Amino acid sequence: MHFNFVKATNRRYLEELKNIVHQMPVVYKSVNIMQHTEWVINKPIYEVIKTCMLNDFPLGKLPVNPQTIELPIKPVDIATNPEALVKWKREASKVYSGRAKQNSKFIQVRQIMEEAKMLLDKGGFFYPYQLDFRSRVYPKPAMLSPQSADYSRALLTFKFGKRIGKNFDILAVAGAGLFGEVDKEELNIRVKWINDNMEKIIQCATTPLEFTWWADADKPFCFLAFCYEMKAYSDSNFDDGFITTLPIQADCSNSGLQHYSSMMRDEVGGKATNLVPSNKPSDVYYLVSQKVIEKLKLKTDEMAKKWLAYGVDRKICKKPVMCLPYSLTRYSCRQYLEDHVAKELNERGTQHEFGEDLFKATSYLTPIVWESINDVVVGARGIMIFLKTIARLVASENLPVTWKTPLGFPVQMMCYKKESKRVKTKMGDSIVKLSIASETDEIDKRKTAQSVCPNFIHSLDASVLQLAVVKAKETGVDNFSMIHDSFGCTAPDNRIMANAVRDSFCEIYKKDVLLDFANEMRMMLSEKNLKKFPDMPTKGNLDLDLVKKSVFFCI
């Protein structure tokens, strides 16, 4: 079966890519390196998930069979009491909605498990990779993959491992990160947490369906995979010759804001996103939550008191802050807040005093969170306005916003307006009118402006990943489990990968990527629009070489 290397349908664009292959050798080399990683199914994890699915055990956030979710009991006076009827319908609607969500997740788990079953006894298998139009790398299989859900990633392990050597601490830090209780603490505290909980860890791997402490982890099945690896390591008496095959992921600390801070040489943003060395990791989500609390304490109304009583923490602020670099809107911000409160209630039983009208409560908190984000993340806003202004100018010329990544990959952002056409067709004895959406030849200025920030940032983190893969391979890393801004390898290769990522990040930003983008846009504009071109944002004095010394930049 044939697939294009880049997921695109524009033939002219694909033809252009073929003609400039020689201009982006690192892009092609990185994908070929990743495709040489050989995988096998993690059999113990497969057996646990299989048992959970057969018995409807919702362990580790696994979806249960939607048919087992029962409707609320009907009140005895439902036929004569309009208020009781309305209340029951509202509660039943939530169940129906929950069933629909669970159904898609339940089907996905079954599909992934079917794929795992097919590969269970294979000697090993490989993943083919594709690029999207921003050059981000994705495995072609959509379900069972290193970039899929927690349980899907846990089902995969490297076929060939390496002697663990003196790398117990690296394995321990990774395990503590997967559980999530001390993942924002210093490294020695994380290692101590693993040592203190070693008995629980081994017990999880011994009887996972009876001792289910692992299911409380942030990433439960990946943590259970870590438990199995740690038990096997323990059974070898922590021998330096133990062969480890578990993928260890190192995640960048809010990579979108890291990119903005690097472009602006923003010292404040750089410190908040761990671009500079420190003894303890900086947590931008926590900083925003503290700002929100400060603002709520200055208010005297009842809703402010309810939010303070509920507790505003880093978790509720995480999604809005994380999505800021990708053109977060107030509408999305409010929805993320509501989703968090509902999720905490459903999964953890966290009660609140907002009643059934979460919309009103989250609408109250949204402007406070929005203002707090702007207080903490200053530099990113300037660049986002700059990029959106330029994108609107280019779109007004009815041209797609087009730029090259630092590694030479041409990005074409084609956001065309759509028009709806009504079509009559006959189905049986009935005439049916359908609406069909089709693209026009006119660029959508609003959509272009809204899309440019996330697409520009994604093209940059793709470049960092591709360059890091090539550098890591050249210095001895053989196995790669990559998820855009998360870099996976075996524990013994972790330090090599860490150096490769930091060197690649600094190399990418040796160039003024924002100025390069601006210059490419200027070449596309008419004299009239060139006069409207915005001034370059003022840069700070952040020393990017400090990234190489920052432990918490990516861990």
CA of residue 463 relative to chain centroid, distance:
17
> What are φ and ψ of residue 440, in 5° steps?
-95, -175
Q: DSSP label at 23?
A: G
Q: Which of 58, 85, 57 is nearest to 72 (CA)?
A: 85
Specify whether the CB–CB gap between 225 and 45 falls below 8 A: yes
Burial of residue 403 (number of CB atoms within 10 Å: 0-12, 13-18, 19+): buried
Burial of residue 533 (number of CB atoms within 10 Å: 0-12, 13-18, 19+): middle
> What are φ and ψ of residue 252, in 5° steps?
-70, 150
Question: How many other CB atoms are there within 10 angstroms of residue 236's CB atom?
Answer: 13
Q: DSSP label at 89?
A: H
Q: DSSP label at 109?
A: H
Residues paired with residue 386 on neighbouring β-strands, in sequence order = none
54 vs 343: CA distance, rounded Å: 25
522 vs 426: CA distance, rounded Å: 51
Question: How many other CB atoms are there within 10 angstroms of residue 119's CB atom?
Answer: 17
Question: How many other CB atoms are there within 10 angstroms of residue 233's CB atom?
Answer: 19
268 vs 520: CA distance, rounded Å: 29
The structure tokens 């000697």 sit at 123
Residues with Cβ < 8 Å from 66, sequence gap 6 or more?
98, 99, 100, 102, 103, 106
Question: How many other CB atoms are there within 10 angstroms of residue 537's CB atom?
Answer: 19
164 vs 195: CA distance, rounded Å: 17
Cα→Cα distances 103→46, 97, 153, 201, 243, Å: 21, 10, 21, 32, 39
Cα→Cα distances 529→173, 196, 524, Å: 52, 63, 10
Q: How many CA atoms lie within 13 A of 17 on its CB side?
A: 22
Query: What do you get for the CA distance between the two ends of the chain, in Å?
Result: 38
Residues paired with residue 131 on neighbouring β-strands, in sequence order = 6, 137
Residues with Cβ < 8 Å from 68, sequence gap 6 or more?
56
Active-site residue numbers?
A: 251, 318, 485
Q: Which of 125, 156, 260 is nearest to 540 (CA)?
A: 260
478 vs 34: CA distance, rounded Å: 9
438 vs 419: CA distance, rounded Å: 6
The pair of structure tokens assigned to 210 is 């009876």
226 vs 246: CA distance, rounded Å: 7
